[in-house]
Chain A
């Protein structure tokens, strides 16, 4: 057992010939499966609750397995998707998260390129990078009051545009830092060759470097899409009617008459599915992304 628990050896070993797993490996596998199930349970529970009749919310026994513990119904889903407010929230969130991601990529990718390739003298590149990074840890609550007042002055309260601008601000540093890492990993000789051939810097960036970096740039776009989608504090500060997003709509499942578990589960699922799916598409880049490029996954 002590032998098997030795860390750090198994993974990089050459593919072992097919054989039956040892007892220790079987035990560890079971442990891993159980751990995964614990982490998936809340999501499963939301699904289970969303399929129940309201009166069954607390009366269903055990793990609430559909068809075994109760007869599932899609009524709650139908009710929620039928109201125009749900559809509007979905549309808003899609527009805002997409718009903010694109804007952040537009501004962030060239900056990332600059940090990866050019040499800045007054402030060294790595200090600039850390400066971008420090924007990422800025607590949103420190800025929401002025954001609110600025958007009021600009007449942009309760607009998708305001939320696109603000979300882009909070995800921009993320894009800069992780895309920078991608460019660093690419050989600069290709661009240098292009430059020697008379290409402009923009041309070298746009036609040589960017296509090579595209998978990673797209992946960071997907990750920041999830961040923008999940934002709550900016939405609740800026939106009041037209621009209500899915997380804010989600908070609306709480009633003065108590939490309506059934609607809440549906709305929670609606809120969680898009960012989770989008993030899974970017799986390969997640470790690097979430550690802001500091750890390569």
Chain B
């Protein structure tokens, strides 16, 4: 009897792992790609995308996965660094799509986003770039969804606010010498002129990698603007530019149309960045929901510290999952996803109150809804943290 029991136990022990393996195989995996710059000076742009996607995945996976059409999917994020190099970005896109990945977050700039467009289209995938080139989102293009608010959408709103509320009459533009930033500068200049502001500097730029901004800022300040716009400025440059302007005695206001991080501003520029206006998403405590607070806690657990840039980047994967939940056919079919996009609407889980809607937007700028409807939150730096200056809406 004892011998028989021992044989049974041995057989059970031998067979059990195969059963366990079988059940593990039965678990479905939803792979999400992230393709963006994760090294070099602009690393924070792509890394924050990656960390946000991984944090969202952590939160869902901790509850057993995301429920799509009655089936639980574990989320797996596959992140690749494109080094802001179009060739690498194309290779990454090919790698991701060859794995059957249908939804890719990124890339971060126009040149890389435009380079991967044919790859994404050919693979019938959908990507969510953080680049503003309109040809990515306007027909006939049909494989990209803008992941955040574009500079040409938020710029005019900020300039109008400054003109009406702060009495700004003249404005100067300074851009990072890259195609994205120069495009943003040109669009900003046109918007400012349309509003009747006097543009005293419209083409000044600095080389990426510049650390001493006194020379470039000296010229801007001699033009005596009431306000300086930093076009396409990287989070690493923003505090140094603010510091240089204040060190040179500039008394006016400064803004940018990209997301920034308060800790970086506080550490590098401190009080000299006080009043600096930038774009947020759901970063400031005044508008955060409990879900956003939980997201921040999960992000800190994964990464070690919070980055305010993430306030504009929490949305992409959450929205992808929400659409897939509503239309399970879209898991492997981006055409089904696009059909749902046109009418999709949900309560924004990251903003408190439950009244803010999260949907796809962009009809006014791109002729169709090909943009994640991130709330247009304009922040002001207090010397230590951001406070929400106002919340606007993108025309749809």
Do the two chains belong together in a single complex?
no
Seen from chain B, the residues whose Cβ lies within 8 Å of a Cβ on chain A are: none
